[in-house]
Structure 1
Amino acid sequence: MTSFVRRTLLATTVLASATIGFSAAHAEDTAPAAATTTAAADEQDNPTSVGTGARDRGADIVVTARRRQESSQEVPLAISVVGGEHIDSTGSFNVGRLQQLTPTLQYYSSNPRNTAVNIRGLGVPFGLTNDGIEQGVGIYVDDVYNSRVASATFDFLDVAQVEVLRGPQGTLYGKNTTAGAINITTNQPTFDFEGKAEVSIGNYNFKQAKAAISGPLTDNLAARIAVSSTSRKGTIYNVTTGEHIQSQDNLGLRGQLLWKPTDTIDVTLAGDFSNQDANCCGSVYVRTGATQRAINRQFAALAAAQGYAPPSLNAFDRLTDLDTDLRAKNKIGGASLRVKWELGEGTLTSITAWRFWDWDPSNDRDFTGLPIVALSQNPSQQDQYTQELRYNYSSDKIDFVVGAFGFYQRIDTQGTEAQGAAASRWSINPGSVAAVPPGSSGCGPSASNQLACDPTVLDGLVAYNTQYLKNTSAALYGQLSWHITPELTLQPGVRLNYDKKEGYYQRRVFDGQGNELLLGLPSYTARQSAQLAIYTPQEISPTFSDWNFSYDFTASYKVAPDVLLYATYAKSFKSGGINQNGVPVDGSNNPILATATVKPESVHHYEAGIKTQFWDRKATLNVSIFRTDIANYQANVNNGQYGVLRGYLANAGAVRSQGVEADFSVRPSERFNAYVNGAYTDATYRKFTDAPCPPELSGGTTVTSTTTVSPAGTPGGISPENCDISGQRLPGVSKFSFSFGAEVNAPAKLLGKEGEVYFGYDGSVRSNFSSNPSPSAYTWIDGYSLHNFRAGFRTESGFDVYGWVRNAFDQNYFEQLMVGPGNTGLIAGLPGDPRTWGFTIKSAF
């Protein structure tokens, strides 16, 4: 792993060099320092609607949700804003931790590639990632779109604020925002010399260092450099390797140059690089549940037949025995050029960007310490290019934005999956024999299928997957705000979008002796048939293209200077896609090409809300109600087998997400502030009649027209071919979720410095939620609450030292539960972080 000390020394060297250069340039400046016109510079000292940013009561929170700077209370949409100061003080250093502050944000990650970020229960299908579709929550950093959700797993780097826009944002943010958008703004270069540094240490060998420095190089050229490094020992102990897994080992770098050749032109060149090299990612044994497999083919019998037992039956002992090397090397970065030109009452903006993502994983897909799946890895390389050109205009009667957006992406993936020495006895049915004793695999002279007793049948069986995706998109868009009166504004918006996806998928299969298994032969031996049941060769070249037109209309009315009413209707879509990981096969093992493409989602969204400030703007209360209906919802389908097809995409009939959200904050004085945010979300499948069945209804003989489905969990029972889950809850969504917190401070003097002591608290509560695409009795995660505290001393000059504890009451909870492959009844899980504590010291200059 990358050494924390080495990285910190590198950061110190870079910053020291930059300081010398900045100081020299600053000393040579004879003209007054010019003020930057970037949004982040204006925003970074403003208070936030979530948490405790600055101390000015009644100041506006400046956002860029409509691609222009304005007060968040003037924007007629549901939006949460978290300032950089509160992000740092609460330890919310990535999107995953941000969900504890924003109740309608859901984040699930078994590893960086298999990450889901949803808003109001919508966004991406729950389960293994498929590169052939779009995400439904757009992630933007300084106006640059990040097409892969893996970017959400990296540490925030020198962030000024984060805006979480709830509800479809298709007009201004594109086809990838049917559920909302996360708009991240970093601190920009300044023409005043400034810097900051922060170091944290804690239990689990937690170490984090952050630093940034900014200032002028010449009269019209400024630069900013930022670095972040995070490391922590893993929270799960692997008894097989003697190592802790689920560790953190992150490094981030960002550099920016701001050139102002005139008072009306800003040119910003930015580059960034982030690296993760953690001992990750694994799981622990949670439980088993009865399926409809034969009793000797369920987990308890299969494990006993090979003398296997999990290292602990208590998931919160945090022990695992995974026997495959784990790896989650993740690199992401890129460069962008942003040009802003003030033209009269408008601004012309061009953003040109390139992003890359390199993913190098290794996983243990059988979730046990047995060598069943010996290797599972799909390294991937992505390059994306974007170009956006837009013009913003503002006047007393109208504001408008018009623009064009182009996108090209290329993804190449090279996959390897292999079976191990325990695979034959685990995956091949030895056949029915009389009076099979409990715990027996059925192997022996009386077994009707001796292949199960021969480890060489599957040991060394390997599949090599080769795939690529070319994704092209272009759009024209516009949004108008017509101020009919000072109180009444009508806001229509439109977007025309074209998509084209070209994919390729090839799977070649070889047995343990290196012989390739081919389809189309006149006949197969029993050994070959058993091998082909695990890995099936396949080659497809799916394509998709389509035009889509989306639009929205919002009416807002100011009842009073600090009371805004609004209502919105939006017709949006999420682009169709292709199954990039393979498709199901028919009885002759031929790919079913009708399943190669996935229809676009069609979205109808309705929302109404009120935004208010009162008590001399010391208090803010925003409330919204919403309903989102989606037809042809893109759902992830898993077939329960080890290697035949881990998952593919299909269209569910319809889903609906509806609910109520409220955000309240109060700051009666500079000595106290508090906030409470809450959401009720009812997100369900409205129609999904051919969904994959949950494990308790899977694994038995498939039902026919003359048979009756057995009750759930009946060993050796009759299973339906698919299940009707209409009316059931979408995965990952809690009906009720809340976040709340407060901070109190008092004047104090420490080490001769005038300042204030403070005590802060942040908490969150969520009710239970399903952790499987088809709700299962075995994968409901109980609701839980988390409580974080901090206390310290700070000065107006930027010095701050404090201690912190997160998950203070050591709540045991799961972030995610996963159904083991093969319908054996195994349930594995990812426990959330235990209690962590530490100390932070930071300084600004």
Structure 2
Amino acid sequence: MTFRTLLIASSALAGLPTLALAQEAAPAEAAPAPTTQVAEAASTFTGDEIVVTARRREETAQEVPLAISVVTADSIEATGNFNIVKLQQLAPTLQVYSSNPRNTAVNIRGLGVPYGLTSDGFEQGVGIYVDDVYNSRVASATFDFLDVRQVEVLRGPQGTLYGKNTTAGAINITTNQPTFEFEGRAEVTFGNLDYKQAKAAVSGPLSDKLAARIAVATTSRRGTVFNTRTDRYINEQDNLGVRGQLLFRPNDDLSLTLAGDYSRQEPECCGTVFVRTGLTQRPLNRQYAALAAAQGYTVVSRNPFDRLTDIDASLRAGNQIGGASLKAVWDLGAGTLSSITAWRFWDWKPENDRDFTGLAIVSKSQNPSQQDQYSQEFRYNYSGEKADFVVGLFGFDQRIDTQGLEQQGLAASRWNLAPSADPANIANNPATLNGLSAINTQYLKSTSAAAFGQVSWKLTDAFTVQPGVRINYDKKSGFYQRRVLDAAGVDVTTQPASAIRTARLGVYQAQISEPSVSDWNFSYDLNLNYALADDLLTYATYAKSFKTVGINQNGLPTDAAGNPILGAGVIKPESVNHFEAGLKTQFWDRKATLNVSAFLTDIKNYQATVTNGQLGVLRGYLANAGKVRSQGVEADFSIRPSERFTAYANGAYTDAKYVRFVDAPCPPELSGGTAATAANPASAPGTPGGFSPANCDISGQRLPGVSEWAFSYGAEVNAPVTLLAKEGQAYLGIDGNYRSGFSSNPSQSIYTNIEGYAVTNFRVGFRTEAGIDLFGWVRNAFDTNYFELLQVAPSNVGLVAGQLGDPRTYGLTIKARF
């Protein structure tokens, strides 16, 4: 039995003595309408305040002098936002993009990670924490929230209070903890598309000093795209998660919490649909229309919202995440000492269709990887009459191993090789490329250590000065090797020179690199906040932050002779200057809350994803852009005039641009042609057979994936009723979100702009004072057609494929608490 199997079993057994069904609803008088305001807000109709731990101590959200969105568990469940990917519907400045769990990007205000294919060699700009444990892989964002109490979305650099430095923000997830009073919660949901979701949690004492809690969640749903090739729906949901916790409290001053969790996904995912084609600079007979016609291929549908595809390669998104942690909290009287020790793992087993067609061009694309990470944090919190402070130490060690396989298929030769007068006729011979494989072996070792601290010095009852500092050391070393084998398994690089060998090495290039780097960084911030009056707080923040140095872990670009450019193996750290000012206020006897913030973030040496468009050679690598700027304004408003009505509206304007990026990858309409020279300058975009620049100056263009305008809103009204002899509330709720258009390509392209869209959801239900909640819901009620992501196919053939947003879904949820 493996250690991970033992972990799964122990997670389940941790709460077995008190196992029972549990539920996520509160009694009727305590059940809140969904709220996402960034301030003190009633978590119940009785006027309770939302308590957060953003500054590593418990305080109301309205007291925190920074921009923070708080989403309670009831809001998450009522609106169906059951993971971070869906959470962006409630938080306008949060952007999440996912072509599959590995290639998931979580950004705040347009910043965090570069848009496009991911690499293990760089850090997240948005940290994801679950009960103080840092999750280094964004893949965790695709899993169900598991027994979550609330989620805090912190905007702006968070390096002087959190274990891992983050330049764009942090998502702080707090789960429900073991209790010394028995409680149980349960929830089941059924919907169209064979949607089924079940959640359960139970907590209670095992003795007067020991308490346990166990929670499970499972989600399944039929896919939303039909694959005519395999005669089944794809892009389904298939999630399972379990968490177990033991709380040992020998006295009032000390508590020890041992937690273990395991989650897995095994869907047939993640396929694309045909969206459109656009002219590139390749010769016309080498573009999509001519290549498809030459092989007698016709796409199953040219309307993406028919939700049909015919991709032929096998699909899989096997995903397992889990770990264990031990948290000790010791009350020392004057302050509190905390220790968080954690281990986490991530196993990724993918299979993809990299050519986005029903032709056997790329027949296999599989890059499984395994990660282990260890972290240790010590933190001391002190609260005094004139000053509060936090000091901490953080250590992190990570290893990721990847084994890659990409293989060409029967249609590859005619698709990738230009016809010629060569008597061997290699371009029309399927055997030229069929079975040609690129075998990648790689690993990454990453170590970091940091000391950090922040003090809140109360100069007066109204005015507080809050400086913070951080010193950070990072070391990264990697290994990458690509071997090229023919269909018989023979290394192509060892074969005699021939036209076939040259053609094969033009598709896959052998390479080996061992990048390594270490770096020290010092960062700091200063926050000034002043209470102009009761319930009226103003603040201003300056932060000098960084994103640590990175390495290219997926191979290196090559020079004219085909040799790896070793200098491209290391990516400089980002240098961040962040300015922010805000106002937090409540009025109308605290029945209304309005918070406003304005920000400007400049990043030098921005770590960007660069792609070269070649099939199978090097899909993407990291490089430094000169400068990026994100600036904007955010506003969050909520109102609760009575226990019968509540509403919120959140909005954000974000202007995120490349200030200077002079050697960026060109968009598809400028790619694929003969290299431009002084004698033959670059042709106009979309000129078949034209001349293409080696790179493009995209200074002034918007960052990909960022909408200028984003809004979310919601409201709920209820009335007391008696139904089937049960007293309770009947309620009607609405929530929705809007995003303006955005670019879906690292360099803005006329072919990959996604139009703005709005999604509206409704629910109607009945909740009782005894803790029963029954409601029906419809999401995307107006069946809006929209894209979540557009992708450009390799080889500059002009094909654009996409991933679709969910269609209209509807269902019924039943929750109970006891």
Task: Please confirm whether the aligned pair reaches a TM-score higher than 0.5, indicating the same fold.
Answer: yes
Q: Does 1:545 align with 2:518?
A: yes
- Provide the rounded CA distance (Å) in 1 between the counterparts of 2:443 and 2:268: 27
Q: Which has the higher contact order (CA 8 A, sep 6+)?
A: 2
**Unmatched runs of 5 consecutive residues or more in structure 2:** 1-8, 23-29
Give the corresponding residue for 2:4. Answer: none
Q: Name the % identity.
A: 67
Which residue among 138, 152, 155 is the counterpart of 1:163? 152
Conservation of the 8 A alpha-carbon contact between 2:121 and 2:550: yes
- Could you say what secondary structure the match of 2:161 adopts? helix
Q: Does 1:510 align with 2:485?
A: yes
Letter in 2 for 1:163: E
Letter in 2 for 1:141: V
- Provide the rounded CA distance (Å) in 1 between the counterparts of 2:181 and 2:768: 20
Q: Deviations over 1:92-113 (max 9, x none)?
A: 0000110000000000000000
Q: TM-score, normalised by structure 1?
A: 0.93
Which residue among 691, 697, 700 is the counterpart of 2:664? 691
- Provide the rounded CA distance (Å) in 2 between the counterparts of 1:264 and 1:166: 33
- Against the structure 1 CA distance between its residues 448 and 563, is the aligned structure 2 distance closer, same or farther, given a 3 Å change threshold? farther
Correspondence list, 1:218-617, <5 A:
218-431=207-420, 450-518=425-493, 524-617=497-590
Conservation of the 8 A alpha-carbon contact between 2:42 and 2:48: no
Conservation of the 8 A alpha-carbon contact between 1:671 and 1:745: yes
Alpha-carbon shift at residue 58 of structure 1 (Å): 4.2
Give the corresponding residue for 1:742. Answer: 715
Letter in 2 for 1:506: Q
**Unmatched runs of 5 consecutive residues or more in structure 1:** 1-9, 24-43, 432-445
Length, aligned pairs only: 800
- Could you say what secondary structure the match of 1:218 adopts? coil
Which segment is superposed worse, 580-589 or 223-232?
580-589
Q: TM-score, normalised by structure 2?
A: 0.96
Letter in 2 for 1:472: T
- Provide the rounded CA distance (Å) in 1 between the counterparts of 2:19 and 2:539: 52
Give the corresponding residue for 1:786. Answer: 759
Conservation of the 8 A alpha-carbon contact between 1:467 and 1:504: yes
Alpha-carbon shift at residue 57 of structure 1 (Å): 5.3
Give the corresponding residue for 1:654. Answer: 627
Moved over 6 A (4+): 13-16, 20-23, 44-48
Letter in 2 for 1:776: S
Give the corresponding residue for 2:99. Answer: 110
Conservation of the 8 A alpha-carbon contact between 1:47 and 1:60: no
Q: Deviations over 1:707-762 (max 9, x none)?
A: 22111001111111100000000000000000001000000111211100000100
- Against the structure 1 CA distance between its residues 793 and 71, is the aligned structure 2 distance closer, same or farther, given a 3 Å change threshold? same
Conservation of the 8 A alpha-carbon contact between 1:58 and 1:616: no
Alpha-carbon shift at residue 55 of structure 1 (Å): 2.8
Correspondence list, 1:797-836, <5 A:
797-836=770-809
Letter in 1 for 2:645: F
Q: Deviations over 1:20-67 (max 9, x none)?
A: 6999xxxxxxxxxxxxxxxxxxxx989875179743354321100011
Give the corresponding residue for 2:124. Answer: 135
Letter in 2 for 1:534: V
Conservation of the 8 A alpha-carbon contact between 1:18 and 1:213: no
Which residue among 702, 714, 724 is the counterpart of 1:729? 702
Correspondence list, 1:54-65, <5 A:
54-56=43-45, 58-65=47-54
- Provide the rounded CA distance (Å) in 1 between the counterparts of 2:457 and 2:604: 31
Which residue among 157, 176, 187 is the counterpart of 1:187? 176
- Could you say what secondary structure the match of 2:206 adopts? strand
Alpha-carbon shift at residue 517 of structure 1 (Å): 1.9
Q: Deviations over 1:312-370 (max 9, x none)?
A: 00000000111111011000000000000001121000000000000000000000000
- Could you say what secondary structure the match of 2:350 adopts? strand
Alpha-carbon shift at residue 19 of structure 1 (Å): 3.5
- Against the structure 1 CA distance between its residues 451 and 486, is the aligned structure 2 distance closer, same or farther, given a 3 Å change threshold? same
- Could you say what secondary structure the match of 2:431 adopts? helix
- Against the structure 1 CA distance between its residues 419 and 47, is the aligned structure 2 distance closer, same or farther, given a 3 Å change threshold? same
- Provide the rounded CA distance (Å) in 2 between the counterparts of 1:833 and 1:704: 46
Alpha-carbon shift at residue 524 of structure 1 (Å): 2.4
- Could you say what secondary structure the match of 2:771 adopts? coil
Give the corresponding residue for 2:82. Answer: 93
Letter in 1 for 2:199: K
Q: Deviations over 1:662-681 (max 9, x none)?
A: 00000000000000000000
Letter in 2 for 1:429: A
- Against the structure 1 CA distance between its residues 15 and 491, is the aligned structure 2 distance closer, same or farther, given a 3 Å change threshold? closer
- Could you say what secondary structure the match of 2:86 adopts? helix
Correspondence list, 1:64-79, <5 A:
64-79=53-68
Conservation of the 8 A alpha-carbon contact between 1:49 and 1:80: no
- Provide the rounded CA distance (Å) in 1 between the counterparts of 2:333 and 2:185: 36
- Provide the rounded CA distance (Å) in 1 between the counterparts of 2:47 and 2:206: 36
Conservation of the 8 A alpha-carbon contact between 1:429 and 1:449: no
- Against the structure 1 CA distance between its residues 496 and 809, is the aligned structure 2 distance closer, same or farther, given a 3 Å change threshold? same
- Against the structure 1 CA distance between its residues 555 and 221, is the aligned structure 2 distance closer, same or farther, given a 3 Å change threshold? same
Letter in 2 for 1:456: A
- Could you say what secondary structure the match of 1:594 adopts? helix
- Provide the rounded CA distance (Å) in 2 between the counterparts of 1:174 and 1:449: 61
Q: Deviations over 1:381-433 (max 9, x none)?
A: 000000000000001100000010000001000000100010000000114xx
Conservation of the 8 A alpha-carbon contact between 1:46 and 1:60: no
Alpha-carbon shift at residue 173 of structure 1 (Å): 2.0
- Provide the rounded CA distance (Å) in 2 between the counterparts of 1:293 and 1:58: 64
Correspondence list, 1:208-219, <5 A:
208-219=197-208
- Could you say what secondary structure the match of 1:684 adopts? strand
Q: Deviations over 1:189-209 (max 9, x none)?
A: 001100000000000000000
- Provide the rounded CA distance (Å) in 2 between the counterparts of 1:311 and 1:53: 52
- Against the structure 1 CA distance between its residues 57 and 678, is the aligned structure 2 distance closer, same or farther, given a 3 Å change threshold? farther
Alpha-carbon shift at residue 450 of structure 1 (Å): 2.2
Alpha-carbon shift at residue 513 of structure 1 (Å): 2.6
Give the corresponding residue for 2:36. Answer: 50
